[in-house]
């Protein structure tokens, strides 16, 4: 093996290792390959030798290799460094921190990949997760103007958790106006489109450019007048002993959209007992607080209580879907996740989360090694939801 052939083998091996990275996007893999291709070209060595006639051949080759890898490493660091965001002019943002526009202020949130959020009218959000092509943002209250950058070669996917609703974005400009006090929501799109699901919507709704959506059946913010008639009485040996003022406190906080504070107040009042007296919507809110802020066992406890106390209700179906999300995202138990998504689809065949359930079932089956099931789900998804948020994933599965 001569030196040139050895150099090419090194370049090929490094290229294979980097291309094997499962977290890399197609664009990233192409960029890596472009840098590494230069290392394997024979012309690079010959050019370098012509530029350095006074340097021995072996030393020139070593310098060429080290210089190429140094340049490649620098480029790869730029391409693969984790995305960040800033609040206002230059304050670094941290995942999970509250970002709020108080006293009539307008607060911009700028992301390193180009997307921006602008909070106004009491807007309050938390960035829950962030990577090169996706993010999850919790909107707790107020108005948020969003401009999400869409990169063709990447599967851009942002999700906004807004009360009992979820807004899925692939690249667009839109506004979310949410009032936690009464659960009212208005989504207006200026460019592109978003998909709104959950709440009391019968099916996911697409909001295109120039359109707006304002569900007229906002979920109740607090306990209903006849809660005592709906919720079954607790057994005599497990009668709740939560004090009235403690109940009122966590209920007020949840109704106001303060999920973390509501969760902590419920824990102080005895979380298990709170789950015995909470309404369906309050249990969902407690579950969201547990998912977003932890511990996740609180979310599981709230969702399990909801399914036990209110079997057959739409919220019980939502609980099944949420348990599937947690099994998928938190535990990476894809078989368990698939089972919960199937439960939702069986219990809520016309539910507002059916599109998401189909898409996530497809992904769960794929990750669990059930290729046949994943293909079947992909075919069903494309038939029922052509152009839906999971279309690219479905097409990718069917093309293999």
pLDDT at position 19 over 60: no
Q: Quick one: 9 and 134 in the same domain?
A: no
Q: What is the CATH number of the domain that holds 156?
A: 2.60.120.1440
Same domain assignment for residues 248 and 372 = yes
pLDDT band for position 43 (cuts 50, 70, 90) = very low
Task: Tell me the pLDDT band of 62, cut-offs 50, 70 and 90.
Answer: low
User: Which pair of structure tokens corresponds to residue 398?
Assistant: 């069917």
Please identify, among 57, 80, 103, the residue that sits at the C-terminal boundary of a domain.
Answer: 80
What percent of the chain is predicted at pLDDT more than 70? 70
Clarify whether residues 258 and 271 are in a common domain: yes
Query: Does residue 6 carry a pLDDT above 90?
Result: no
Residues 74 and 94 in one domain: no
Domain range holding 120? Answer: 85-213
pLDDT band at 35 (very low <50, low <70, confident <90, very high): very low
Domain shared by 75 and 99, yes or no:
no
Residue 32 scores a pLDDT above 60: no
Q: Which residues pair with 173 in a beta bridge?
A: 147, 191
Tell which of 153, 187, 213 closes a domain: 213
Q: How many distinct structural domains can be found in the chain? A: 3
Domain of residue 286, CATH code: 1.25.40.10
pLDDT attached to residue 237: 41
Q: End of a domain among 59, 80, 101?
A: 80
Q: Are 287 and 266 in contact, with CB atoms under 8 Å apart?
A: no
- The answer to whether position 330 is within a domain reads yes
Cβ atoms of residues 125 and 180 within 8 Å: no
pLDDT at position 42:
44
Residues 237-280 have pLDDT tens digits of 444 445 555 667 898 888 887 888 899 999 999 999 999 999 99
Indicate if the pLDDT at residue 182 is higher than 60: yes
pLDDT digits (tens, 9 = 90+) for 309-333: 999 998 999 999 999 999 998 899 9
Share of the chain above pLDDT 90, in %: 30
Same domain, 64 and 17: yes
In this structure, the answer to whether residues 71 and 114 fall within a common structural domain is no
Distance from the first to the final alpha carbon of the chain: 37
* Same-domain status, 325 and 386: yes
- For residues 1 and 342, which has the higher predicted lDDT (pLDDT)? 342
What pTM was computed for the model? 0.56
Q: How far apart, in whole angstroms, are the C-alpha atoms of residue 122 and residue 224? A: 27
């Amino acid at each position: 093996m001569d030196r040139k052939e050895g150099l090419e083998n090194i370049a090929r091996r490094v290229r294979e290792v980097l291309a094997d990275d499962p977290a890399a996007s197609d664009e990233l893999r192409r960029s890596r390959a472009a840098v590494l291709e230069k290392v394997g070209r024979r012309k690079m060595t010959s050019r370098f030798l012509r530029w350095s006639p006074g340097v021995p051949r072996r030393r020139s080759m070593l310098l060429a290799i080290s210089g190429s890898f140094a340049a490649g490493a620098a480029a790869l660091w730029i391409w693969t460094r984790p995305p960040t965001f800033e609040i206002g002019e230059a304050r670094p943002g941290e995942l999970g921190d509250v970002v709020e526009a108080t006293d009539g202020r307008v607060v911009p949130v700028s992301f390193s990949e180009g997307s921006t959020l602008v909070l106004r009218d009491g807007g309050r959000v938390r960035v829950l997760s962030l990577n090169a092509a996706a993010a999850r943002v919790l909107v707790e209250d107020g108005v948020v103007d969003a401009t999400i950058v869409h990169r063709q070669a990447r599967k851009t996917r942002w999700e906004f958790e807004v009360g009992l609703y979820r807004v899925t974005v692939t690249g667009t400009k839109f506004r979310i106006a949410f009032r936690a006090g009464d659960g009212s929501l208005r989504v207006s799109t200026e460019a592109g489109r978003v998909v709104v699901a959950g709440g009391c919507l019968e099916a996911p709704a697409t909001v295109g450019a120039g359109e707006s959506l304002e569900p007229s059946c906002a979920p109740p913010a607090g306990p209903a007048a006849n809660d005592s008639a709906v919720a079954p009485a607790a057994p005599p040996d497990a009668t709740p002993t939560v004090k009235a003022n403690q109940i009122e406190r966590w209920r007020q906080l949840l109704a106001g959209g303060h999920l973390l504070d509501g969760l902590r107040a419920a824990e102080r009042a005895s979380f298990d007992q709170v789950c015995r007296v909470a309404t369906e919507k309050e249990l969902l809110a407690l579950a969201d607080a547990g998912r977003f802020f932890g511990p996740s066992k609180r979310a599981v406890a709230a969702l399990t209580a909801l399914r036990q106390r209110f079997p057959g209700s739409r919220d019980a179906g939502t609980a099944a879907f949420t348990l599937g999300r947690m099994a998928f995202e938190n535990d990476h138990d894809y078989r368990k996740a698939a089972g919960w998504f199937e439960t939702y689809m069986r219990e809520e065949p016309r539910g507002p989360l059916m599109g998401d359930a189909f898409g996530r079932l497809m992904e769960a089956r794929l990750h669990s090694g059930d290729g046949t099931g994943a293909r079947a789900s992909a075919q069903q998804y494309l038939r029922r939801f052509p152009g839906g948020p999971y279309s690219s994933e479905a097409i990718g599965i069917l093309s293999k």
